[in-house]
Amino acid sequence: MPRYVKIVDSFDAIGMTGSAKVQKNKLRAQALSDLGLQDR
């Protein structure tokens, strides 16, 4: 069960790969920043 859920309209601000997938490392960094959490 997830601890946090955030609904977004698009991933354009985070960045996409050449194959139109979201960049998971940037998604993680953005989520940590938005939620005020520390990286483990």
Is residue 14 very low, low, confident or very high in pLDDT (cuts 50, 70, 90)? confident
Please, what's the b/e burial string for 1-40 (b: 16 or more CB within 10 A of its CB; e: otherwise)? eeeeeeeeeeeeebeeeeeeebeeeeeeebeeeeeeeeee
Q: How confident is the model at residue 39 (pLDDT cuts 50, 70, 90)?
A: confident
Task: Report the alpha-carbon distance of residue 2 to residue 19 in Å, rounded.
Answer: 27
**This prediction's pTM:** 0.70
Q: Decide if pLDDT at 1 tops 90.
A: yes
